[in-house]
Amino acid sequence: MSLKNDRDSSIHDLFATYSLGSLPNSPFSDEVVLNLTSRVKSRLANLVKDLEDKKVIFSVIYSFPVYVSVCSLLGVPHK
């Protein structure tokens, strides 16, 4: 298999696996590959940002003062 066919196949797999949208017909031109690569990078950056936002929320929710406040409101004993 040629490198371009291998590249196009990898792009198809990425788009299918991560539901990144539709693709133009293969073989892809170099310009199309750059565009598709940018779409993948953008989607990955958004996923990383979402994950980091969730980590911040998780750390705030489970910080001790918030935990004590929530337990007090719910009438749950805390240690």
Structural domain boundaries in the chain: 3-74
Q: Residue 27 in contact with residue 8, Cβ under 8 Å? A: yes
Instruction: Give yes or no for a contact between 20 and 40, defined as CB atoms under 8 angstroms apart.
Output: yes
pLDDT tens-place string over residues 34-75? 999 999 899 889 888 888 887 766 666 666 666 666 666 666
Distance (Å, rounded) from C-alpha 58 to C-alpha 56? 5
Three-class DSSP category at 36: helix
Write the CA distances from 3 to 11, 17, 26, 68, 71, integer angstroms. 12, 21, 13, 58, 59
pTM of this structure: 0.63
Give the closest residue to 27 by CA, choosing from 6, 52, 56, 13.
6
